[in-house]
């Protein structure tokens, strides 16, 4: 009995695989590549959804920016709900916590908007810049890192 079930499963899987190859055989390489890209995107969205995030990796129900952007900030710490990307040292202070520069739709802000829940559903792209090479464009303002957000137009 077990052998017949195993054989049935084996042939079933072989048939499904053969069916998929026949479907792909009539497609161009470009179409196959696009189909694989779509499948990979579906898997990414399913992973994010299982984590309680929207399809762009944002927690829309979060109370703080740190929690809303946690997917993009795996190694960051927080202070008062605002992420701390990088600390720096000066001659006058041993260690100082400064907050990252926020760039939202091309506009610079020294602190994030107050209402997390109002803006987080509209975020479509997040880019976190931490290293000095990435942030030197903003000089002294970007020394603690830069968080770039792109939103849909409200």
How far apart CA 76 and CA 128 sit, in angstroms, is 10
- Ordered strands of the 107-109 beta sheet: 107-109, 101-104, 146-151, 123-129
Q: What is the pLDDT along the chain (154 residues), one digit of tens a residue?
A: 667 656 656 555 555 554 455 456 677 888 888 989 999 999 999 998 998 888 889 998 888 888 898 888 877 788 878 888 877 655 665 555 578 899 999 999 888 888 888 888 899 999 999 888 888 899 888 888 899 999 987 6
pTM (two decimals): 0.71
What does the block give as tokens for 16? 């499904």
Query: Contact 85/56 with Cβ under 8 angstroms?
Result: no
How far apart CA 40 and CA 43 sit, in angstroms, is 5
Specify the pLDDT at position 42.
Answer: 94
Specify the pLDDT at position 8.
Answer: 58
Look at residues 74, 77, 147 and name the one whose alpha carbon lies nearest to residue 112.
Answer: 147
Specify the pLDDT at position 96.
Answer: 54
Specify the pLDDT at position 37.
Answer: 93
Specify the pLDDT at position 90.
Answer: 59
């Amino acid at each position: 009995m077990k052998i017949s079930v195993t054989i049935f499963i084996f042939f079933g899987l072989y048939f499904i695989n053969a069916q998929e190859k026949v479907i792909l055989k009539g497609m161009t390489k470009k179409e196959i590549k696009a189909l694989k890209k779509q499948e990979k995107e579906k898997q990414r969205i399913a992973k994010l959804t299982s984590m309680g995030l929207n399809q762009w990796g944002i927690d829309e129900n979060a109370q703080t920016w740190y929690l809303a952007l946690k997917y993009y900030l795996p190694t960051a710490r927080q202070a008062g709900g605002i992420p701390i990307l990088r600390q720096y040292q000066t001659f006058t202070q041993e260690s100082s916590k400064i907050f990252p520069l926020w760039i939202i739709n091309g506009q610079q802000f020294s602190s994030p908007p107050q209402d997390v829940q109002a803006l987080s559903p509209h975020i479509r792209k997040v880019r976190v810049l931490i290293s000095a090479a990435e942030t030197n464009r903003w000089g002294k303002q970007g020394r603690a890192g830069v968080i770039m957000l792109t939103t849909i137009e409200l």
